[in-house]
């Protein structure tokens, strides 16, 4: 459906989108939906989450400002950004203002909307892009934290609930492979193959390439088999159906599980484990830390993470790893600190 039809259905004239007195109306909301749909990858495993997030971000801006899109100024966007910065981290603020900017760029290119929206007020008010892997949330769990988190989810799986069994298998995939959120949550049965007591996982990764990786750890295979057999979906591995499905009353059984739903569960598990705040990508950070410590090789870590550029891995590790102390004991010994403390 074209933007002309959407706006026409909402108000019979394009003026329905831009009248003063303003609260976002059906026409604007439909325009935002069209923008979100047009700018979101149709093959993305978390498409539904992205559409929801994009729509909510842009509509919340217009509701908070109370002006029609053609009257918004850079100062309006700057005031909104200031309010966001009181509540959210730099990367979140940048992402939300960038989405508003994207909506304006899309609207200006549209034949109908371009007659009413001639500039992008979000462009001048957008903050600087945060450096990759340099935010406070870019950190790895230590081994005790990860053990505690796995223990909590494993206990839920042992009680026999399908949600616990599913989430335990998902968590092990994240922890043992370092795969990204979209890669794990978007897996389908046809992406996996059993071969020589290992799982071969082939999926589309960041950058658009298809990559195959071996998952040899038996815990992952057992957890996945336990989940699929318990929910009567053992044949999923020979089909193109989603690997992870819903098992709750909030949606139809068998529907694909969204990454948003798993993220909510993961926050509850982390709270029970005494971890506090958590986001899914921290499992990848933790994977990188352990690989770097285990191998001592930045090249091995780059290969495990699937980074094309070694410098990306170098920056990544600088932020999430802890430099080992090889010298402090030798220095205090040379300075005879123990002897001086004993004599005082």
Whether residue 324 is predicted with pLDDT greater than 80 in this model: the reply is: no
**Residue of 203, 143, 153 lying closest to 177 (CA atoms):** 203
Last residue in a domain, options 64, 90, 125: 125
**Position 184 in a domain:** yes
**Position 339 in a domain:** no
**Position 242 in a domain:** yes
Based on the fold, state whether residues 85 and 169 are members of the same structural domain: no
Alpha-carbon gap, residue 339 to 320, rounded angstroms? 37
Classify 238 as helix, strand or coil. helix
State pTM to two decimals: 0.66
Of 78-82, 160-164, 231-235, 293-297, the one with minimum mean pLDDT is: 293-297
Last residue in a domain, options 72, 97, 125: 125
More confident site: 252 or 168: 168
User: What per-residue confidence (pLDDT) applies to 129?
Assistant: 73
**Position 333 in a domain:** no
Could you read off the pLDDT of 37-95 as tens digits, one per residue? 999 888 766 688 889 999 999 999 999 998 888 899 999 999 999 999 998 888 788 88
User: What per-residue confidence (pLDDT) applies to 5?
Assistant: 41
Based on the fold, state whether residues 267 and 177 are members of the same structural domain: yes
Q: What is the CATH number of the domain that holds 209?
A: 1.10.443.10
Residue 169 CB partners (closer than 8 Å, separation 6+): 157, 220, 223, 224, 226, 227
Total tally of structural domains belonging to the chain: 2
Could you read off the pLDDT of 204-222 as tens digits, one per residue? 777 777 888 899 999 999 9
Q: Chain-centre distance of CA 161, in angstroms? A: 26
User: What per-residue confidence (pLDDT) applies to 253?
Assistant: 65
Based on the fold, state whether residues 108 and 240 are members of the same structural domain: no
Of 204-213, 292-301, 304-313, 335-344, the one with minimum mean pLDDT is: 335-344
Based on the fold, state whether residues 242 and 96 are members of the same structural domain: no
Q: How far from 43 is each of 79, 95, 167, CA to CA, in Å?
A: 35, 21, 23
Alpha-carbon gap, residue 107 to 30, rounded angstroms? 12
**Residue of 87, 77, 259, 235 lying closest to 173 (CA atoms):** 259
Please report, rounded to a whole number, the percentage of residues in the chain having pLDDT higher than 90. 41
User: What per-residue confidence (pLDDT) applies to 192?
Assistant: 93
Based on the fold, state whether residues 8 and 112 are members of the same structural domain: yes
Based on the fold, state whether residues 120 and 63 are members of the same structural domain: yes
Banded model confidence at residue 13, pLDDT cuts 50, 70, 90: very low
User: What per-residue confidence (pLDDT) applies to 331?
Assistant: 82
Instruction: Look over the chain and give the mean of its residue pLDDT values, rounded to a whole number.
Output: 83
**Position 13 in a domain:** yes
Based on the fold, state whether residues 113 and 222 are members of the same structural domain: no
**Position 87 in a domain:** yes
Of 2-6, 302-306, 311-315, the one with minimum mean pLDDT is: 2-6
CB contact burial 267-292 (16+ within 10 A = b; e otherwise): bebbeebebeebebebbbbbbbbbbb
Based on the fold, state whether residues 171 and 314 are members of the same structural domain: yes
Tokens of 334: 């040379």
Based on the fold, state whether residues 213 and 245 are members of the same structural domain: yes
Based on the fold, state whether residues 30 and 103 are members of the same structural domain: yes
Based on the fold, state whether residues 89 and 205 are members of the same structural domain: no
Tokens of 23: 């609260």
User: What per-residue confidence (pLDDT) applies to 17?
Assistant: 40
**Position 342 in a domain:** no
Whether residue 134 is predicted with pLDDT greater than 50 in this model: the reply is: no
**Residue of 192, 167, 181 lying closest to 244 (CA atoms):** 167
User: What per-residue confidence (pLDDT) applies to 1?
Assistant: 36
Tokens of 51: 């559409």
CB 34 within 8 A of CB 56: no
Residue 259 belongs to domain spanning: 143-320
Banded model confidence at residue 293, pLDDT cuts 50, 70, 90: confident
Could you read off the pLDDT of 249-265 as tens digits, one per residue? 766 667 889 888 999 99
Based on the fold, state whether residues 96 and 186 are members of the same structural domain: no
**Position 135 in a domain:** no
């Amino acid at each position: 459906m074209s933007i002309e039809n959407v706006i026409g259905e909402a108000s019979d004239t394009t003026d329905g989108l831009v009248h003063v007195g303003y609260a976002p109306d059906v026409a604007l909301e439909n325009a935002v939906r069209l923008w979100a749909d047009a700018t979101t990858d149709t093959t993305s495993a978390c498409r539904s989450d992205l559409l929801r997030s994009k729509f909510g971000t842009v509509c919340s801006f217009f509701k908070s400002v109370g002006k029609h899109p053609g009257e918004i100024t850079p100062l309006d966007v700057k005031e909104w950004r200031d309010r966001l910065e009181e509540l959210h981290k730099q990367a979140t603020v940048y992402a939300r203002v960038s989405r508003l900017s994207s909506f304006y760029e899309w609207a200006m290119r549209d034949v109908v909307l371009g007659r009413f929206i001639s500039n992008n007020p979000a462009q001048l008010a957008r903050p600087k892009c945060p450096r990759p892997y340099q935010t406070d949330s870019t950190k790895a769990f230590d081994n005790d934290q990860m053990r505690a988190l796995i223990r909590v989810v494993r206990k839920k799986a042992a009680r026999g609930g399908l949600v616990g069994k599913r989430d335990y298998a998902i968590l092990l995939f994240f922890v043992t492979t370092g795969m990204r959120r979209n890669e794990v949550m978007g897996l389908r049965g046809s992406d996996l193959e059993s071969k020589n007591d290992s799982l071969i996982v082939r999926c589309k990764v960041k950058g658009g390439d298809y990559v195959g990786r071996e998952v040899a750890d038996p815990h992952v295979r057992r957890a996945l088999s336990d989940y699929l057999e318990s929910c009567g979906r053992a044949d999923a591995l020979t089909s193109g159906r989603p690997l992870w499905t819903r098992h709750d009353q909030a949606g139809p059984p068998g529907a694909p599980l969204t990454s948003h739903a798993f993220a909510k569960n993961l926050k509850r598990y982390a709270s029970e484990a005494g971890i506090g705040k958590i986001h899914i990508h921290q499992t990848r950070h933790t994977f990188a830390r352990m690989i770097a410590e285990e191998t001592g090789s930045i090249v091995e870590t780059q290969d495990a993470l699937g980074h094309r550029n070694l410098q990306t891995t170098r920056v990544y590790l600088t932020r999430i790893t802890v430099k080992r102390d090889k010298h402090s004991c030798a220095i205090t010994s040379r300075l005879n600190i123990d002897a001086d403390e004993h004599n005082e």
